[in-house]
């Protein structure tokens, strides 16, 4: 699983995007357990700042604190925030990225339809 931060920098009067990639080979079982707790306590369709911060903190833990909550918020484009959370949650639950799951589904569909 990987997360890509896209930090905007001003270099020599130009705006440049610097990417930084963070990876993990797998999530721990304690992270799966924590997701189960979130499912019981958080209404994902109506989250406030505190819930978002808690979930971003969880993502930091899943990635073994390679970055902080503030670095996450600075590095992830706003329109990718929720999608990034969902992707990490999917990885914790299944051990696979959404792209891997989609590829498996497509392969299963091909085999099914012969």
pLDDT tens for 7-33 read 998 888 999 999 999 999 999 999 999
Convert 56-73 to b/e letters by CB count within 10 Å (16 or more is b).
bebbbebbeeebebebbe
Mean pLDDT, residues 91-114 taken together: 90
pTM: 0.89
Quote the radius of gyration of the chain (alpha carbons, Å).
17
The pLDDT assigned to 18 comes to 93
- Token pair, residue 104, equals 């498996």
- Residue 72 is encoded by which pair of tokens? 């996450």
DSSP E strands, the chain: 2-11, 14-23
User: Domain coordinates of the chain in residue numbers?
Assistant: 2-113
Using the structure block, give the residue that is written with the tokens 């700042």.
49
- Report helix, strand or coil for 97: coil
């Amino acid at each position: 699983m990987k997360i890509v931060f896209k930090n905007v920098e001003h270099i020599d009067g130009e705006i440049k995007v610097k990417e930084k990639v963070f990876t993990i080979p797998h999530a721990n079982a304690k992270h799966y357990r924590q997701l189960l707790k979130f499912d019981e306590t958080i209404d994902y369709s109506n989250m406030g700042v505190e819930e978002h911060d808690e979930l971003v903190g969880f993502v930091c833990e899943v990635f073994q604190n390679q970055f902080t909550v503030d670095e996450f918020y600075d590095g992830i484009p706003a329109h990718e925030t929720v999608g990034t959370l969902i992707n990490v949650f999917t990885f914790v639950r299944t051990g696979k990225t959404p792209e891997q799951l989609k590829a498996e589904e497509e392969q299963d569909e091909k085999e099914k339809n012969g």
